[in-house]
């Protein structure tokens, strides 16, 4: 029997990664790291050791210490997060390989082995100067986007929206008289749209923002105030997109908006709107993990979520 | 009847691949990180290929203006090293930054950049070349 595992004593580091069960098909896992909490240079060195030569080169090309650090943390977060799921046996975060789909979306490249069926694990990352996140699902694609709540838009928000968003979305923003609220709603809408194009695997370049509308509407749910976020695509009006993609919007750590978009599992039956089951963990890989689901650090805004 | 008492399974760690990783890339073996800066041996930045047919490269003034708009959008200090070769991604620009930069360029130069062209801009030089091409077309 060929055992695709690695001896535990090659590196003490990976044994400090607390293993986690794979999410169920209905669940989404969301991990994030705050770069400002990572100060130790020996820890950064540990992270550096996890990267492939290609990733190290990409990190080097970033200009300036801060950008290099964030690029490094992003790769380290992805590798350590996936390794936690210990599919089959201990997985070394350093041995993971990645490939890109035709639009450039990163995916895991599992070793081709007849005796072993790789898990249908999907992931997506997003980074901002002060927070880096990684979302994980099983069986269905996921896209996430995170933005700082305070992010200033240099251009006029409505001019920007008219240029890049759909008429419905422009109307929504135009109806907001308070400029600060308008800016916040713009950022939220941007993160939702980014999360969607990343979930469908195409990214901003291949799925122009003008080709789909995202809006909030009342949800079919026992709670009359419940709303859900839905997408309507003009590219393919025959497909009932609204039911395929599930969105959620969070306010993280009081400082960021995070949008998560995932495909609904194929077996979801029933007319009632099903909340997204979500587990949120703040982490410093190899150092500590903190489950923040349901705590003040995670506030859901828009769409139903069942935090677990 | 087979007996497997005393059998042992030898695990062959694929340690070769770990060692190969660090020796294949020269110069990165002895990277050390200080608390204040991540120091990497500098890799020479190779400019990306030009993506358009241009009769000549953009004027230095155009490149300079693009650099200023990029620095402003990305909140980089005035003395930061931004030049024609600079890649937006390496300067920390995300997709929202790139879109804002394009809008800033449109306003500054009085041009209109199509979505398809905007996607091909990866460096400051790319942007400057595209701007001059569009200005030329406009003035026609």
Contact (Cβ atoms closer than 8 angstroms) between residue A137 and residue A28: yes
Domains of chain A, residue spans = 2-307
Interchain contact, A1 vs B9, CB within 8 Å:
yes
For residue A153, pLDDT beyond 60: yes
Residue with tokens 């969105």: A247
Q: Please indicate, yes or no, if residue B123 is contained in any of the structural domains.
A: yes
Q: Count of CB atoms within 10 A of residue B128's CB?
A: 26
pLDDT tens-place string over residues A21-45: 999 888 999 999 999 999 999 999 9
Residues B26 and B92 in one domain: no
The stretch A189-207 carries a mean pLDDT of 91
Token code pair at residue B119: 């996607």
A4 pLDDT tier (thresholds 50, 70, 90): very low
Nearest residue of B to residue A61, measured between CA atoms = B90
> Is B1 contained in some domain?
no
Contacts of A69 in chain B (CB under 8 A): 38
The verdict on residue B27 lying in a domain is yes
Range in A66-75, A176-185, A288-297 with the lowest mean pLDDT: A288-297
Q: Kindly tell me the sign of the dihedral angle through the C-alpha atoms of A21, A194, A75, A147.
A: negative
Query: Reduced to 3 states, what is the DSSP secondary structure of residue A21?
Result: coil
The answer to whether A221 and A304 are in contact (CB under 8 A) is yes
Position A242 pLDDT exceeds 70? no
What CATH number corresponds to the domain at position B100?
1.10.1200.10
Measured CA to CA in angstroms, residue B91 lies from A35, A203, A239, B63, B97 at distances of 17, 20, 39, 16, 10
Residues 6+ apart with CB under 8 A from A283: A31, A32, A33, A77, A80, A81, A289, A290
Residue A73's alpha-carbon distances to A56, A97, A125, A175, A251, in angstroms, are 11, 17, 11, 39, 21
Q: Using the beta-carbon criterion (under 8 Å), do B90 and A67 form an inter-chain contact?
A: yes
Task: Please answer yes or no on whether A164 and B40 come within 8 Å at the CB atom.
Answer: no
Domain extent at residue B42 = 7-56
Q: B70 burial class (0-12, 13-18, 19+ CB within 10 angstroms)?
A: buried
In this structure, the answer to whether residues B84 and B124 fall within a common structural domain is yes
Of A236, A260, A254, the residue nearest A137 (C-alpha): A260
**pLDDT at residue B116 above 60?**
yes
Residues B76 and B133 in one domain: yes
Q: Are both B28 and B66 inside the same structural domain?
A: no
CB A98 within 8 A of CB A107: yes
Measured between beta carbons, which residues in chain B are less than 8 angstroms from residue A160?
A: 99-100, 103
3-state secondary structure of A121: strand
> What is the pLDDT, as a whole number, of residue A303?
62
Residues of B identified as active-site: 94
Query: What is A2-307's CATH topology?
Result: Ribosomal Protein L22; Chain A (3.90.470)
Distance of CA A178 to the CA centre of its chain: 30
In angstroms, rounded to a whole number, what is the distance separating the alpha carbons of residues A40 and A28? 30
Burial level of A99, CB count in 10 A (0-12/13-18/19+)?
Answer: exposed
In a domain, B113, yes or no: yes
Inter-chain CB proximity B103 and A94 less than 8 Å: no
A8 lies within 8 A of chain B by CB: no
Residue A160 confidence (pLDDT) above 60: yes
CA separation for the pair A47, B64 (Å, rounded): 37
What pTM was computed for the model? Answer: 0.80
Number of domains in chain B: 2
């Amino acid at each position: 029997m060929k055992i695709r595992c690695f001896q535990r004593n090659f590196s003490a580091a990976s044994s400090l990664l607390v293993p986690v069960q794979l999410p169920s098909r209905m669940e989404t896992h969301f991990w994030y790291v705050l770069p400002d909490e990572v100060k130790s240079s020996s820890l950064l060195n540990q992270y550096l050791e996890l990267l492939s030569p290609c990733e190290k080169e990409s990190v080097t090309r970033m200009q300036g210490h801060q950008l290099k650090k964030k690029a490094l943390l992003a790769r380290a977060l992805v590798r350590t997060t996936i390794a936690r799921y210990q599919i089959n046996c201990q997985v070394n975060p350093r041995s993971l390989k990645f490939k890109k789909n035709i639009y450039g979306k990163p995916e895991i490249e599992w070793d081709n082995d007849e005796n072993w069926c790789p898990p249908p694990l999907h992931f997506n990352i997003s980074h901002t100067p002060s927070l880096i996140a990684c979302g994980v699902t099983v069986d269905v694609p996921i896209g996430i986007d995170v933005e700082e709540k305070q992010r200033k838009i240099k251009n006029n928000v409505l001019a920007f929206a008219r240029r890049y968003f759909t008429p419905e979305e422009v109307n929504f923003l135009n109806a907001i008289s308070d400029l600060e609220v308008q800016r916040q709603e713009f950022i939220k809408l941007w993160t939702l749209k980014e999360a969607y194009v990343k979930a469908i695997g195409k990214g901003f370049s291949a799925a122009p923002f003008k080709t789909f509308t995202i809006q909030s509407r009342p949800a079919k749910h026992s709670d009359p105030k419940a709303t859900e976020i839905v997408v309507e695509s003009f590219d393919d009006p025959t497909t009932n997109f609204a039911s395929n993609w599930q969105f959620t919007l969070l306010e993280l750590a009081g400082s960021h908006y995070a949008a998560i978009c995932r495909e609904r599992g194929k077996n979801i039956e029933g007319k009632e709107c099903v909340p997204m089951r979500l587990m949120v963990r703040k982490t410093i890989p190899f150092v500590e993990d903190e489950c923040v689901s349901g705590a003040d650090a995670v506030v859901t805004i828009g769409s139903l979520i069942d935090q677990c | 009847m087979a007996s497997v008492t005393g059998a042992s399974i030898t695990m062959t760690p694929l340690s070769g691949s770990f060692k190969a990783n660090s020796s294949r890339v020269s110069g990165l073996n002895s990277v050390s990180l200080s608390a204040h800066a991540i120091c990497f041996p500098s890799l020479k930045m190779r400019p990306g290929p030009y993506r358009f047919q241009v009769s000549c490269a953009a004027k230095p003034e155009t490149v300079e203006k693009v650099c200023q708009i990029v620095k402003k959008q990305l909140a980089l200090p005035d003395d930061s090293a931004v030049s024609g070769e600079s890649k937006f991604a390496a300067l920390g620009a995300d997709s929202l930054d790139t879109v804002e930069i394009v809008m800033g360029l449109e306003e500054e130069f009085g041009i209109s950049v199509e979505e398809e062209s905007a996607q091909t801009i990866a460096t400051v030089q790319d942007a400057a070349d595209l701007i001059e091409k569009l200005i030329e077309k406009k003035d026609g």
